[in-house]
A and B are shown apart, each in its own frame.
Chain A
Amino acid sequence: MNRERVVVAMSGGVDSAVAAARCVRAGYDVVGISLRLARDGSGSCCSLDDFHDARAVADRLGFPHYVFDFTDAFEAAVVRPFVAEYLAGRTPNPCARCNQHVKFDLLWRRARELGATRLATGHYARIGRDPASGLPVLRAAADPAKDQTYFLFGLDAAALARTLFPIGDATKAEVRAEARALGLPVADKPESMEVCFVPRGDAAGFVARNAPAAALRPGAIVDEDGATVGRHDGVHRFTVGQRRGLGLGGGVARYVRRIDAGTGTVTVAAGDRLCARGLVARDVSWSSGRAPARGTDLGVRIRHRHALLPARVVDSEDGTVAVAFTGAGPAVTPGQAAVFYRDDVVLGGGWIAGEIG
């Protein structure tokens, strides 16, 4: 037997189950791995039930399945930065970090130790090939409603070359139908949409429990003229563009415009004042290895599931890029990812540092 070995990352959900099934059907020597990431298990992921579900799928499909304990690495690579970002007044994107540092790096290294030549996941994304360079490129999923490339921009060409996204060409309905046809016990399992390690979606509570009390930044809520309109007990409770939970009473709807963690000041403004002209992203990586030239038109996504915004590169150097929106601009949230596309191809991405001035 000399089949190529593939490690399939299995969450216990239906997507990775069908991804594994498709790898089996393609003739790979499949090894399923589930990762224990969150330590206290109080979030929506990594419960024993999920591991048992993944194991039941593996048993049904006839391949071995194991659980690796990655709690220490996840804490260092994802949880601590998540807390630090909120404390710094930004709104982090832990899923993208987890993919980049944990699943497609640490897990890949383990997979290699196990003799695997490829890593497969149940993400909705596709891998294409750049006709000019011949290098693999990340492409949006066939089902635009499920596309997860926003969380996968950190994968470079080397990572893409060894990655399989077996369900990238399927819709969710097709994946569920396939799972049912195969008799997989997770066919109708509900999806988890929240940050997996944050119980009940309460990010502010999670940050408060996981940060030293002295690191929390209470302060004033001010309007754009600098007049104090309220108080708050920590900047980690806010995200730029947020309307609910400001505790400012009735009247004109106001939104978080800016967060200054240094002074603890949260600035609010009416909705029409939120629109940014463009954004600056840092730690940007480009799949081609080179930043696009100034003046290049591209699409940018600044939140998962948000529409692609037309934009133009206005400046770029040393991993930092500034783009101007060529249409109406939305609120720009520092800490979120900015992912750049040409049609359905991911050109690169980075982390939003702020608006362009």
Chain B
Amino acid sequence: MRLYLDHNAGAPLRPEARDAMLPWLGPPANPSSAHREGARARAALEEARAAVAGLIGAAPAEIVFTSGATEANNLALRGADAGGRIVTTAIEHASVLETARAGGAVVTTVGVDAEGRVAPEAVVAACSGRPALVSVGLANGEVGAVAPVAAIAAALAGSGAVVHTDAAQAAGRLPIDVRALGVDLLSLSSHKLGGPAGAGALWVRSGTTLDAQLRGGPQERGRRAGTENVAALVGFGAAARVAGATLAESAARLDALTQRLWQGLAARLPGVVRNGPASAPRLPNTLNVTVPGCAGESLLVLLDLAGVAASLGSACAAGAPEPSHVLVAMGRTRDAARNGLRFSLGPDTTADDVARVVELLPRLVAQVRGEHAA
């Protein structure tokens, strides 16, 4: 039986999301149409918007639906104006880092410590009291580090900074309240929390200036033109609702399972290193480890052949990752940064699944090392 432990790359569709989507895969569904079909679609879309807003303590009118967190990050970084300066961190998703560099703004990249943590003072210092667009991801999907976004936003209040956070990996796994966070913009992804891929959102605090990047229609209050994908967004809404309702229980359960996985591997694999924070705050479902003397690529393939889907840091189009920029930023060597093996658990992961990996991985490591010695 296949065991899927790559939820940070993309989670399976939750049954609730699937059930909510099915009725929308047939009928005409343009929410801007004047007829009854359009009105039905509009109602479904707004219900999804309310559900997504509810997950993060936002008002529905502040949610701009997008095609995903990548588009949301692009919209935030291109659309918000903050004096031509961007302050971000070295461990952000490529959709933040590449968009920041491509835009002509002066970009300052703040480093992280060996566990992937951002120091709020470093971000504040990089802003040097002047307006800037600050983009700091709430949780890092590769190693699970959680950034002190609330402290950063509080320290920058009144400085003219616009604060954006990419919460694609945090949403549904950690409680999020946009008012408590104090940020201005927040990106969400549907498929990381059990909705379909191809849907996401940018939360835009009421009163925040944002230029549309896709033009040509009044959709999403003029901030994102194009007919909304109602079926996908309805699925996103349903997944957000379930993720929110089960979050506390799910986070505690996943945290215990992840700990069990780490302790099991640490006991059986001398020298294994955990990449990421040694303690909370961190994502409850993410374990990134390096096994010394083993090519991560080989272990990943052997795991896959044995039925376990994991990953080497972030997924890339061809499945051939460069050394992880996150692990490099955490001070790992280029070689070590190739070998970080990530397990990311999800709502369906069980204690038996964890036991299977704890039994399997040391055997595969022995195979790889044994063959080396031969």
Q: Which residues of A contact B (CB under 8 A)?
A: 31, 34, 36, 48, 51-52, 64, 66-69, 71-72, 109-110, 112-115
Contacts of B273 in A (CB 8 A): none
- Given A31-B305, A110-B295, the answer on whether A67 and B319 have CB atoms closer than 8 Å is yes
Q: Let me know if A113 and B295 touch, CB within 8 A.
A: yes
How long is the Cα–Cα vector from A113 to B295 in the complex, in angstroms? 9
A-B contact pairs, 7 of them (CB 8 A): A36-B320, A66-B301, A68-B297, A69-B297, A110-B298, A114-B301, A114-B305
Chain A min CB distance to B4 (Å): 16
In the complex, which of the residues A31, A67, A71, A113 contacts B318, with contact meaning CB atoms closer than 8 Å? A67
Q: Is the interface of B mostly helix, strand, loop or mixed?
A: helix
Residue of A nearest to B301 (CB): A66
Contacts of B372 in A (CB 8 A): 109, 113
Q: Let me know if A72 and B298 touch, CB within 8 A.
A: no
Does B304 belong to the interface (CB within 8 Å)?
yes
Q: Which residues of B contact A (CB under 8 A)?
A: 295, 297-298, 300-302, 304-305, 317-322, 334, 338, 367-368, 371-372, 374
Chain A min CB distance to B273 (Å): 20
Residue of A nearest to B338 (CB): A69
How long is the Cα–Cα vector from A109 to B300 in the complex, in angstroms? 16
Q: Let me know if B318 and A51 touch, CB within 8 A.
A: yes
Contacts of B338 in A (CB 8 A): 69
Number of A-B contacts (CB under 8 A): 52
Contacts of B321 in A (CB 8 A): 69
Which of A34, A36, A48, A69 has the most B CB atoms < 10 Å from its CB? A69
Q: Let me know if B367 and A113 touch, CB within 8 A.
A: yes
- Given A112-B371, A114-B302, the answer on whether A72 and B334 have CB atoms closer than 8 Å is yes
Residue of B nearest to A35 (CB): B320
How long is the Cα–Cα vector from A90 to B305 in the complex, in angstroms? 45
Contacts of A52 in B (CB 8 A): 318
Chain B min CB distance to A190 (Å): 21
Contacts of A109 in B (CB 8 A): 372
How long is the Cα–Cα vector from A51 to B321 in the complex, in angstroms? 13
In the complex, which of the residues A48, A51, A69, A113 contacts B371, with contact meaning CB atoms closer than 8 Å? A113
Chain A min CB distance to B333 (Å): 11
Q: Let me know if A113 and B368 touch, CB within 8 A.
A: yes
Q: Let me know if A31 and B322 touch, CB within 8 A.
A: no
Contacts of B318 in A (CB 8 A): 34, 36, 48, 51-52, 67
Q: Let me know if A64 and B367 touch, CB within 8 A.
A: no
How long is the Cα–Cα vector from A69 to B316 in the complex, in angstroms? 12
- Given A72-B334, A110-B297, the answer on whether A64 and B305 have CB atoms closer than 8 Å is yes
Chain A min CB distance to B360 (Å): 14
Chain A min CB distance to B310 (Å): 13
Q: Let me know if A69 and B298 touch, CB within 8 A.
A: no
Contacts of B368 in A (CB 8 A): 113
Q: Let me know if A113 and B319 touch, CB within 8 A.
A: no
Contacts of B301 in A (CB 8 A): 31, 64, 66, 114
Q: Let me know if A69 and B320 touch, CB within 8 A.
A: yes
Residue of A nearest to B374 (CB): A112
Q: Let me know if B367 and A48 touch, CB within 8 A.
A: no
Q: Let me know if B320 and A64 touch, CB within 8 A.
A: no
Contacts of A34 in B (CB 8 A): 318, 320
Contacts of B305 in A (CB 8 A): 31, 64, 114
Q: Let me know if A48 and B317 touch, CB within 8 A.
A: yes
Contacts of A112 in B (CB 8 A): 371, 374
Contacts of A51 in B (CB 8 A): 318-320
Q: Let me know if B302 and A68 touch, CB within 8 A.
A: no
Contacts of B320 in A (CB 8 A): 34, 36, 51, 67-69
Chain A min CB distance to B309 (Å): 12
Which of A36, A52, A113 has the most B CB atoms < 10 Å from its CB? A113
Residue of B nearest to A115 (CB): B367
How long is the Cα–Cα vector from A69 to B367 in the complex, in angstroms? 21
How long is the Cα–Cα vector from A40 to B285 in the complex, in angstroms? 34
How long is the Cα–Cα vector from A115 to B334 in the complex, in angstroms? 26
Residue of B nearest to A33 (CB): B301
How long is the Cα–Cα vector from A140 to B298 in the complex, in angstroms? 33
How long is the Cα–Cα vector from A124 to B321 in the complex, in angstroms? 30
